[in-house]
Amino acid sequence: MKNIISIIALVLLSFTMKAQDTLKLKNGTKVLGAVTEVSSSEVKFRKTADGPIYVMHKDEIASISYQNGMEEVFDNTSSSSSSSSNTNSGSSNSSANNESKKIGNYNGNDEGFTTGKKHYGGPRIGMTAISDGTISKSIGTNVISQFGWQFETRFFTVDNGSSGLFEFVPMLGGLERGAFLPSASALIGFRTGSGYEIGCGPNLSRSGFGMVFAGGASFQMGHVCFPVNIAFQPNISKSYTSASYDYVTGQYTEHTQKLNSGFRLSLLIGFNARSN
């Protein structure tokens, strides 16, 4: 059982070591994101897979280190010297240039600091390790497969790429064992601009009502996101009371039995596409 948990943790760790492009600014700041376009005067990039496009002038950038290991170094001395030769016209254009140089210029359709709701969805597959308890005893194993779907609503996305989430995840487990183990989770969570996320919420399964705690990361390929998540559901303990009658003494005796479902640790992967 410990080996299974260790393997799941190592798989998640390997996935979460996600590479990104790094913009090194002349003031020493480093900005992480995915560069989408490099023109003669500007660099465009996203901080998240479906986030807004940010625009930055090359004058502010010292170099770009791409996730494939390549590095691009910029030499903007000529552009800066030519701009200083035009004093009168330069002062009038300075404010316009500075405005366009600000990090966070958003070229999308959403307005303001936050964007509206976005809905996503996609399939989920994975495996669940179950500690000893009533569930593992009934199906005769400590590891089962999982199949399901994730419905995701992003309530807001701020300009640094972070977003607030609501996720509903129905799953069906144990089919390879001929078992029918449905479950459903509703999670409130938060995803950072770099794609890492955490969340928690109620879970309903054959064991009853409980809580689920989840974390993971999302990876982008084109316009599709590929999430990798680990979910932990604590043990659900229930007590059952029965009574037996003693014909000799004529008295009833109560017996209390405590049953544990066993905790569950799941590794899930899949993909998400925007539905509207």
Q: What is the pLDDT of residue 238?
A: 78
Mean pLDDT of 111-127: 76
Q: What is the pLDDT of residue 97?
A: 43
Contact 34, 53 (CB under 8 A): no
pLDDT grade for 257, boundaries at 50, 70 and 90: confident
pTM over 0.85: no
Is a pLDDT exceeding 80 seen at residue 227? yes
pLDDT in tens, 4-44: 555 555 554 444 445 578 989 988 888 888 888 888 888 98
What SS3 state is found at 80? Answer: helix
Exposure of 222 by Cβ count < 10 A (0-12 exposed, 13-18 middle, 19+ buried)? Answer: exposed
Is a pLDDT exceeding 90 seen at residue 181? yes
Q: Of 226, 229, 171, 161, whose CA–CA distance to 198 is shortest? A: 229
Which residues 6+ apart lie within 8 Å of 72 measured at CB? Answer: 38, 63, 64, 66
pLDDT in tens, 89-109: 444 444 434 433 333 333 333
Q: Residue 275 phi/psi, 5° resolution? A: -95, -25
pLDDT in tens, 57-79: 888 899 999 887 888 888 755 44
Output Rg (C-alpha) for the chain, integer angstroms: 27
Average pLDDT taken over every residue of the chain: 79
